[in-house]
Amino acid sequence: MTERRVTVARETGLHARPARAVADAAADFDADVAVEYDGETARAASPLELTALGVESGESVVVRARGDDADPAVEAVVDVLVGEADP
């Protein structure tokens, strides 16, 4: 399993458009990717679950992935969360 804690840098936090971008990034990999915030976990492939976390800009989340391509999957999702990839 690969895990990385990051601070969400997007101005809107993890709401509609960034959540869709996270889901799209996660879908490019076979790994099971999840985002944890405040004791709750959402599947990264589900924009609805991600937005339900209620993550605001500047808050910290943990991105976890399990599978053969877990490392690049985590990095792709992190890139979206920190604003390095277009939503």
Active site (catalytic) residues: 15
CB 8 within 8 A of CB 57: yes
Torsion of CA 6, 87, 58, 4, to 10 degrees: -10
Place of tokens 């390095």: 84
